[in-house]
Amino acid sequence: MALPIASIAKKLTPYTDSTLMAKGVKVNVPPGFEIVKNPDRWGLKHSYYSSSGKPVYLTPTHYLHNRDTSILITIQISGSQEFGIGPYDRSSKIGRYGGDRNIIGMGSYLGDSRDSAIVRFDVQKLEDSNADYGALSIRDMGKDHPNVTLYYQLNKNIDKLLGKFSNNRMLSLHKRYQHLVVITYFFKDTSEGLADSVIEQTKNIVMFEDRPKFKLPNIDLSMDAHYFRISKKLKRDSLQTVWNKGVIYQDQFEFWAEDCAFAIGDIVLSVRFISNETWPRKRGVSHFRTPQKDSLDRLAWVRGNTFYKKLLVLSKRNFSPLSLERLKPLNADEGFSFDFEYPVDDAYRKQYTQCKVMLVHKTNVGSCILRYYYKPQDRCKVDVAIESTWGEIGFQNNQFFKKLGNDFYPF
């Protein structure tokens, strides 16, 4: 029989091993469940069908099951905390720009989910797990594949079927610069009615430790990597922590998190360099000359230079283009401004709900988001803060890029 909900509500039992400790992940075992460390080669595996109809096979690092195996929970730890945290390398897009590949992995998992079933966690809901981003969804199994079959490979020739699980939930938890943990709940028909209660009572089944393997890049290194400059005055006001928690709105992953932040009186300026995967890869480019070998090559540069505009869907009201005269102090070629508002439960640094956004772009180089956070009562101060710091952070000038010639990569 299925596990009674009352027993799940009891205190969870901490579990750890060398694999989990090395990754800074803790697992709490619900009462009535047994946890198994999955063998690397002949262990439990499961599959699902992606949105394109192709099967995707997963091997979890650990799994849990109740007594009658009507509920099974798999835990998969993926990604690497090494991505983008080491020294910047001008020849590598990932190392050069500090891209967090776990975010791409998260987007891939959610892309194979039913959009209407995705529930994104706000800051308050993330506190139990100490994750930076989380979402609950249902795997898209495809209309011809309503069931998930899990099996335990005892050896090369023998499979012990655990049975078909007709219902599933996927809990994705991400800790920026560390790891992505995907927890998949499988329910047989006899336990499907317990799904919501089981998930609620086991929401802190996984907890992250704050254990980045590498020291985060400092402000000077981050600015240099993205061909930006910053005044000494503004740098003196930099905050000691970055804020990487909360909802990713409308799947705009580039808008989430920040690279650095600065205090301007009661206003906080947050800087986020957009990681643009659409640029032509492994090719240097001069700001003054765009390679155009063929129509596909030209199209790639067009995509790269317009990629950042997709963030305009987040505008609270109508967005406004920034004039060339306005952009001149930032050495930018194009830009927009708009307002954004956060729900109280997902407030920036747990206190700011209002935001004035400046989205700026330099042709063939990259894009940046400047977000000015303020409290509702400080609305009159945000414009003053923007004007007092306008031009103190921005792209390098054209002479800088002219000296580089063709020896740099867009970000």
Percent of the chain with pLDDT over 90: 30
Asked if residue 180 has pLDDT above 50, the reply is yes
Q: What is the pLDDT of residues 245-300, one digit of tens each?
A: 999 898 888 898 898 999 999 999 999 999 887 887 644 444 444 455 555 567 87
pLDDT score of 79: 65
Residue among 70, 89, 74, 78 nearest 35 (CA): 74
What does each C-alpha distance from 237 to 191, 224, 245, 268, 393 come to in angstroms?
A: 54, 18, 22, 10, 13
DSSP one-letter string for 354-371: EEEEEEEEETTTEEEEEE
Using the predicted structure, report yes or no on whether residue 97 has a pLDDT greater than 50.
Answer: no
Q: What is the pLDDT of residue 289?
A: 45
12-21, 276-285, 351-360, 388-397: range with lowest mean pLDDT: 276-285
> Does residue 70 carry a pLDDT above 70?
yes
Distance CA 172, CA 133 (A): 8
What are the residue ranges spanned by the domains of the chain? 5-208, 219-404
Distance CA 257, CA 84 (A): 15
- What number of CA atoms fall less than 13 Å from residue 171's CA on the CB side? 22
**Which SS3 state, helix, strand or coil, does residue 168 take?**
strand
Alpha-helix runs per DSSP H in 247-337? 295-306, 324-327
Chain mean pLDDT for the chain: 79
pLDDT: which is higher, 347 or 40? 347
Q: What is the pLDDT of residue 146?
A: 46
Nearest to 319 by CA among 328, 308, 332, 330: 308
Residue 301 CA to chain centroid, in angstroms?
Answer: 25
Instruction: Find the Cα–Cα–Cα–Cα dihedral 84, 88, 89, 93, rounded to 10°.
Output: 40
Dump pLDDT digits (tens) for 183-218: 989 888 888 888 888 888 887 889 998 876 555 557
Task: Read off the DSSP letter of residue 194.
Answer: G
First to last CA, the chain: 54
Is a pLDDT exceeding 80 seen at residue 115? no
Report pLDDT digits (tens) over 143-154.
544 455 565 555
Choice among 177-181, 255-259, 288-292, 369-373 with the minimum mean pLDDT: 288-292
The beta strands (E) that lie in 2-87 are given as 13-15, 25-29, 34-37, 44-49, 55-58, 62-65, 71-78
- Under DSSP, is residue 276 helix (H, G, I), strand (E, B) or coil? coil
Cβ-contact 134, 126 below 8 angstroms? yes
What does DSSP assign to residue 17? -
What's the pLDDT score for residue 336? 97
Is pLDDT of 321 > 90?
Answer: yes
Least confident of 3-12, 143-152, 353-362: 3-12
Amino acid at site 263: A
Comparing 118 with 49, the larger pLDDT belongs to: 118
Cα 98 from Cα 192, distance rounded (Å): 42
Pairwise CA distance, residues 280 & 296, whole Å: 10
**Choice between 181 and 295, residue whose per-residue pLDDT is larger:** 181
Calculate the alpha carbon distances from 135 to 39, 111, 251 in Å: 27, 12, 11
Cross-strand partners of 133: 174
